[in-house]
């Protein structure tokens, strides 16, 4: 069994009277694809936002690679190797796709205001060095044709893809994907699923995925966590979860009679 990459330990989060997460605990092992499923408002995005540092849980701990990150600000968590995409695309709208990816190389680059202002020398060398890495991702995600398009002008599906590229450019150890296939047609969904599997296979990235398409989730994940009303209702391998009564009830409603 591989080691635990992310350990969620009894995490609770509430906004005023709304209990978004109640005593959630589970593990994500290194190299796994773990999916979080649940109906709307179950707390899936709140969970990712807590792992990411955007929300601060009132109790519980989050351990990443054995280190307690519960109190770290978001950008420090990114430095440790946590990267993400957003449910409602959050790209840098006025930049080109290429610049969006280059911006995500921030953590791996060193140049500062002074060397940048001079450009010739270290800054230029660094630009080229990281451009090579970014171009690999562009090729991997098949977005050569749009590299210099302003992302605000791209279609929804392509923007989702640029966002995935941006998350990858961070070279994360843990990738949080918040509904990467929401609002896509079947073809786009399959493309995205293929990319996710390729990332997992070629880069050995640990992935935590939120997705509504249960069929797809069952196909690609190693482990599934089901949430409902902020509580964990089930956890296990996909085959088990698809038979789980609590999950079926949460998705389809209580049978009357």
Partner 1 sequence: MSSNIRPSGVFDTTYSDDIALNRTRGEKAVSYGIVALLLLIPLLSLEGPFGISLVPQSLVGTIIRIAILVISVQGLNILTGYTGQVSLGHAAFMAVGAYSGAYLARQFGFSFWLALPTSALFTGVIGLLFGLPSLRVKGFYLSMATLAAQFIIPWTLRYPLEHISNGSRPLDVPVPDLFGINFGADGAMYYIVIPLAMALSLAARNISRTRTGRAMISIRDNDLAAELLGINVFSYKLQAFFVSAVYAGIAGCLMAFHTNNISLEFFAPQVSIELLAMLIIGGAGFPLGPMFGVAFVILLTQNVIPALVPSLYSALPSLLPFLAPVNVFAALNPLLFGLALMIFLIVEPRGLAYRWEILKISWKIRPFSY
Among 5, 7, 44, 84, binds partner 1 (CB under 8 A): 84
Please work out, in degrees rounded to the nearest 5, the angle formed at the alpha carbon of residue 158 by the alpha carbons of 53 and 132.
75
Smallest separation (angstroms) from partner 1 to the CB of 149: 7
Task: State which of residues 31, 41, 65, 74 lies at the interface with partner 1 (CB under 8 A).
Answer: 74
Q: Round to whole Å and give the CA distance between 207 and 29.
A: 9
**Residue 151, SS3 per DSSP:** helix
70 binds partner 1 (CB under 8 A): no
Contact 51, 176 (CB under 8 A): yes
Part of the chain binding partner 1 (CB under 8 A), chosen from 63-71, 163-171, 190-198, 234-242: 163-171
Q: Measured at the alpha carbon of residue 251, what is the angle toward residues 249 and 252, in degrees to the nearest 5?
A: 65
171 touches partner 1 by CB under 8 A: no
Site for partner 1 contains 241 (CB under 8 A): no
In 3-state terms the chain splits into helix, strand, coil percentages (rounded to 5) of 45, 25, 30
**127 scored as a contact of partner 1 (CB under 8 A):** yes
Q: Which of 78, 177, 216, 247 binds partner 1 (CB under 8 A)?
A: 78
58 is a contact residue toward partner 1 (CB under 8 A) = no
Minimum CB separation of residue 153 from partner 1 in Å reads 10
* Torsion over CA: 59, 88, 35, 195 (sign): negative
Q: Does 103 bind partner 1 (CB under 8 A)?
A: yes
| Residue 119 engages partner 1 in binding (rule: CB under 8 A) | yes
Nearest to 228 by CA among 13, 32, 42, 48: 42
- Interface residue with partner 1 among 43, 53, 180, 230 (CB under 8 A) is 53
Q: Which segment (2-10, 17-25, 147-155, 212-220) binds partner 1 by CB under 8 A?
A: 147-155
CA dist list (Å): 15 to 12, 38, 57, 210: 10, 19, 10, 21
Query: Which residues lie across from 4 on neighbouring strands?
Result: 29
Q: Is 72 in the site for partner 1 (CB under 8 A)?
A: no
CB of 252 within 8 A of CB of 39? Answer: no
**Residue numbers of the site for partner 1 (CB under 8 A)?**
52-54, 73-75, 78-79, 83-84, 86, 90-96, 99, 102-107, 109-113, 115-119, 123-124, 126-128, 131-132, 135, 148-150, 166-167, 170
């Amino acid at each position: 069994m591989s080691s635990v990459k992310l350990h969620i330990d009894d995490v609770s989060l509430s906004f005023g009277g709304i209990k978004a997460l109640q005593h959630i605990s589970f593990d994500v092992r290194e190299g796994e694809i773990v999916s979080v499923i649940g109906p709307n408002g179950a707390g899936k995005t709140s969970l990712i936002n807590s792992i990411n540092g955007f929300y601060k849980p009132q109790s519980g701990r989050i351990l990443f690679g054995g280190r307690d990150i519960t109190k770290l600000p978001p950008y420090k968590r990114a430095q440790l190797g946590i990267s993400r995409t957003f449910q409602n695309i959050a790209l840098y709208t006025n930049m080109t796709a290429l610049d969006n990816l280059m911006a995500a190389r921030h953590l791996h680059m060193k140049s500062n205001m002074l060397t940048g202002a001079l450009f010739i020398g270290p800054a230029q060398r660094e630009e080229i060095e990281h451009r090579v890495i970014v171009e690999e991702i562009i090729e991997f995600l098949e977005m050569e044709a749009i590299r210099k398009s302003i992302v605000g002008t791209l279609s929804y599906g392509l923007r989702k893809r640029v966002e995935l590229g941006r998350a990858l450019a961070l070279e994360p150890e843990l990738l949080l994907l918040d509904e990467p296939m929401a609002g896509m047609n079947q073809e786009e969904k399959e493309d995205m699923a293929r990319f996710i599997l390729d990332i997992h296979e070629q880069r050995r990235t640990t992935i935590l995925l939120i997705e509504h398409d249960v069929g797809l989730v069952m196909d690609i994940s190693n482990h599934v966590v089901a949430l409902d009303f902020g509580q964990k209702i089930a956890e296990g391998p996909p085959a088990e979860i698809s038979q789980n009564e609590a999950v079926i009830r949460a998705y389809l409603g209580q049978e009357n009679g």
